[in-house]
Amino acid sequence: MVAMPESKMNASCDGEIVSPLKVKNGKLIRLTNIMTSDGCILSIGESQAHIPFEIKRFYYIYNFMNQGMIRGGHAHKSFEQVFFCLMGSLVFHLDDGTIQQDVEVNSPDRGVYVGPELWHDMIRIAKGSIIFVVASHAYSETDYIRDYQQFLAYIKK
By CB under 6 A, name the binding residues for ligand T46: 57, 59, 61, 71-72, 81, 122, 139
Active site residue 76: no
The minimum distance between CB 98 and ligand T46, in angstroms, equals 20
Q: Is the dihedral of CA 138, 139, 142, 146 positive or negative?
A: positive
Rounded least distance, CB 71 to ligand T46, Å: 4
The residue among 40 and 58 lying less far from ligand T46, judged by its C-beta, is: 58
The residue among 26 and 34 lying less far from ligand T46, judged by its C-beta, is 26
Among residues 50, 74, 76, 120, the one annotated as catalytic is 74
Select 21 or 34, whichever has its Cβ closest to ligand T46: 21
CB of 72 to ligand T46, least distance (A): 4
Q: Which is nearer to ligand T46, 12 or 102 (CB)?
A: 102
Query: Least distance to ligand T46 from the beta carbon of 126, Å?
Result: 16
Convert the chain into a string of H (helix), E (strand) and C (coil).
CCCCCHHHECCCCCCCCEEECCCCCEEEEECEEEEECCCCEEEECCECCCECCCCCEEEEECCCCCCCCCEEEEEECCCCEEEEEEECCEEEEEECCCCEEEEEECCCCEEEEECCCCEEEEECCCCCCEEEEEECCCCCHHHEECCHHHHHHHHHC
Amino acid identity of residue 92, one-letter, is F
Annotated catalytic residues are 74
